[in-house]
Amino acid sequence: MTFHQPQKLKTIADLIGSKFVGSEDFEVLGTNEIHMVRPGDIVFVNHPKYYDKALNSAATIILIDKEVECPEGKALLVSEDPFGDFNKINTHFTRIYNFTEELHDVEIGEGTKIHRTAVIGNNVTIGKNTLIFPNVVIGDRTVIGDNVIIQSNTVLGGDAFYYRKLNGNFDRLISVGNVIIENNVEIGNGCTIDRGVTDSTVIGEGSVLDNQIQIGHDTVIGKKCLIASQVGIAGCCVIGNEVTLWGQVGIASGNKIADGSVILGKTGVNRDLEKGTYIGMFAEDFKTYLKKEVKLRNLK
């Protein structure tokens, strides 16, 4: 999330009641989770296992639960509860409505048709000649391009599936990002595309999604991808251009798939993949898989 205007380190520290390490005028541009951080961002970390990753990331302000040596050119916000304070910062700069108020700050392009049963949140932009079918739900801050088709019962901009366990219960990391649907995208029935935690979940231009597809927070789908029914993509994945994902493919969080790849039905992806065709529980190269199957069948 990028703030509407840059903030000072002391301003953020005062907001959450934390100690800070660094100049009180150190510039803060926004917040992001660890997979998405850029210079000027705040990233939070609340476990020693991930200290080094956060401290050495692109983020220049680290919201941390212990005072440690601060890397040169960076700043620290020392907090007893980085997770909770990250939520506090995000919701201070981005108001969460969750359809409880109808402000209808919506821009709709010429030639767009929206069924009367569709539900649209606040600060939504929809381009030209787009079709929104019955019972579609479009969450706050969603951006939809031109010539897009969104079929019935699809939900754009639901909350990210991102929790910690606190006192025996699950505590949500509040999502203040959005969903961006680029031009000429088609989305089938019953799909769910979660908004980013602090950034954008993106469906690239010309991509086509079948029915009943789940796409997690902050995932970026490239241009002209073809995604079949019941595919599940976790958060913070990067799917290249012209990738084909066949039915019931599952992709674990934070993985990248190279341009032009084909992932065959029911394949599980738990690592980054170079360009190729893959199959199987652990995304095995398809030709290698076939050779192995021939050898196994020829065993006597």
Q: Which runs of E-coded beta strand occur in 149-276?
A: 149-150, 155-158, 163-166, 169-172, 178-181, 186-187, 192-194, 200-203, 208-209, 214-215, 220-221, 226-227, 232-233, 238-239, 244-245, 250-251, 256-257, 262-263, 268-269
Any catalytic annotation for residue 217?
A: yes
One-letter identity of residue 211? N
CB 145 within 8 A of CB 186: no
Catalytic option among 4, 35, 115, 217:
217
Q: Six-digit token pair at 227?
A: 């995604």
Rg value, the chain, Cα: 21
Residue 18 CA, distance from chain mean position: 28
Taking the C-alpha atoms of residue 73 and residue 61, their distance in angstroms, rounded to an integer, is 9
Query: CB atoms < 10 A from the CB of 280, how many?
Result: 15
Annotated catalytic residues are 217
